[in-house]
Amino acid sequence: MLHLNVESEEKNLENQKETFSLSDCFKKEWLSLTNKQQKLNMLICCICNQITNNAMELHCNEHEKADQVYLVGEECLQNYLKQNNEKCPIQQHDRCEFSQGKAVRKLVSELLVICPRQFDLNKRQSNKGIKFGEDEENWSKLNPNSNSKNNCNCNYKGKMKDLKDHMDKSCNLIPIKQNIPSKIVNELNVMSEQIKELQNVIKVQTEQVKDLKAKSLKKDEQIFELTKDIQQLKTEIVDLKQQQNDQIEQSKIKFEELAKTNNKQFENLKNELQQYQIKFDEYKKIIETNAKNQNTNVQQVQLQINTQIEEQKNEQKEKEQNIAVFECNKNCGDMLSFIQSPNLKNGVDFLLVIENEQTIHLKNNEWNNYNFGIFLLGENITLTPYFIYGLNILHPKLIAQNWDIQ
C-alpha cells in the first residue's frame, strides 16, 4: 500500500511538471496568440523553426552574400555545434562564426505574451476535453491549501522581458510541487529511496538465488559425471591389474630362461677374461723391458747431444776470436796505409817499430803523445815508459798477445 501511494504521488507531481523553459526557443503557437504572424516571421530560428531566444546572428564568409540574415537561438546553436563537430547549421562548413543579435533580442523582449503555464493548461484541457469546472475541481484536490477559485487560472498578459519575474513570484499556476511542504516532500523522497533500495536488494537476492540454483544444478551434473568417471576408472583399474599379473607371469618365465642362458654366457666370458689377463701380463713384461731399453738409449742420445753442443760452443768461440783478429788486422792495415803519407813523420806523429826483439824506452813528456798511435809490427817488442800520459795504442789486446808492455 505504501508503495502504491508513493507512486500515485509521483504521478501527480509528474503531471504538474514545468514544461516551459526560459532558455529554449519560444513556441510560435504560444506567441501567435498575442503577436502578428508577420512580425514573428522575422524572428524565426533556423534550427528549430521557433521564435529565437537569446538570438545569435550567423555571419560566416561562406554565406555572407545571402539575401537574408540567419538567426538562431543561443541554446539551439550550442547544442547543434556540439552534436555536429562545430559545423555551421547553414552549409555544414567548418569554423562557424556568429555574434549576439542585439537588435533581435530587443524585439523579442518587447513581445506581448500571456502566461505560458496558462497556455499549457488550456492546451491540455483542449486535448483531454476537460471542462473548466472539472479542471478547477481537480486543481482544488491537488492543491488543498488554496481557497480561491481564481488560483486555478492565470490572467497575466505583459512583455517578454517581465515574464521571468511573473513566473517566479506572482503566477497563480506555480507547479504543485512547489506548494507541497518541503517536509512532506523530503519524507516522500526518503521513502521512495528506501523502497528503491529494498527493490534493489530483492532483485539482487533473486539473482543470487537464481545463480545458486544454476550452480547447484551444475554441481549435480558434475557429481553425476564424476561418479560415472569413477566407475569407469574402477573397471579400468581391474583390467589393468589383470593385465599386469599376466605380464608378471610371462616376465618370470622369460627371466628364468634368460638366467639359464646368462649363466652359460657368464662362464664363457669368465674363461675368456682369464686368457686375456694372461696375455696382458705377458705384454706388460715386454713393454716394461722395452721401456728400460728406451731409457738407456735416451740417456746415451742425451749425452751425445750435450757433447755436440759443447763442441759447437767451442767452435763458435774460435770463430768469434778469428773474426776479431781479422777485424783487427783489417783495421791495422788501413791505419798503416794512412800513416805512409809524406806529411806524417815516424817518432813525431806516430811510433812504428818493425824490428824484432826490441826494447823501447819512452821518455817523459817527449815520446808519450803520438796523435796517430803506436804500431808495433815486430815480435817480442818491450815498451818501458817512465810515465805515459795520453798514450794512444792501436788495438791493445792484439799488442798484449804479441808484445810486452812494462
Work out the pLDDT band at 226, boundaries 50, 70, 90: very high
Q: Is the pLDDT at 199 greater than 60, yes or no?
A: yes
Q: What is the pLDDT of residues 91-149, one digit of tens each?
A: 889 888 999 999 999 999 999 999 998 998 888 888 766 544 444 444 444 444 443 34
> Quick one: what percent of the chain has pLDDT higher than 70?
75
Segment 269-280 mean pLDDT: 86
Residue whose C-alpha is closest to residue 79's, from 147, 15, 23: 23
Right CATH number for 2-180 from 3.40.30.110, 3.40.30.10, 3.30.40.10, 3.40.50.2030?
Answer: 3.30.40.10
* Core vs surface per residue 283-321: b (16+ CB within 10 A) or e: eeeeeeeeeeeeeeeeeeeeeeeeeeeeeeeeeeeeeee
Cα–Cα distance measured from residue 404 to residue 33, given in angstroms and rounded to the nearest whole number: 163
Longest Cα–Cα distance in the chain: 182
Cα–Cα distance measured from residue 67 to residue 89, given in angstroms and rounded to the nearest whole number: 17
Would you state the pLDDT for residue 405?
Answer: 39
Would you state the pLDDT for residue 317?
Answer: 81
Work out the pLDDT band at 315, boundaries 50, 70, 90: confident
Q: Is the pLDDT at 22 greater than 60, yes or no?
A: yes
Place of cell 510560435: 28
Would you state the pLDDT for residue 18?
Answer: 53
In what order do the strands lie in the sheet containing 55-58? 70-73, 55-58, 98-100
241: part of which helix (H) or strand (E)? helix 182-339
Mutual angle of helices 116-128 and 132-142, in 10-degree steps: 120
Would you state the pLDDT for residue 385?
Answer: 61
Contact 67, 60 (CB under 8 A): no
Cα–Cα distance measured from residue 278 to residue 280, given in angstroms and rounded to the nearest whole number: 5
Spell out the domain ranges in the chain. 2-180, 341-406
C-alpha cell at 321: 776470436
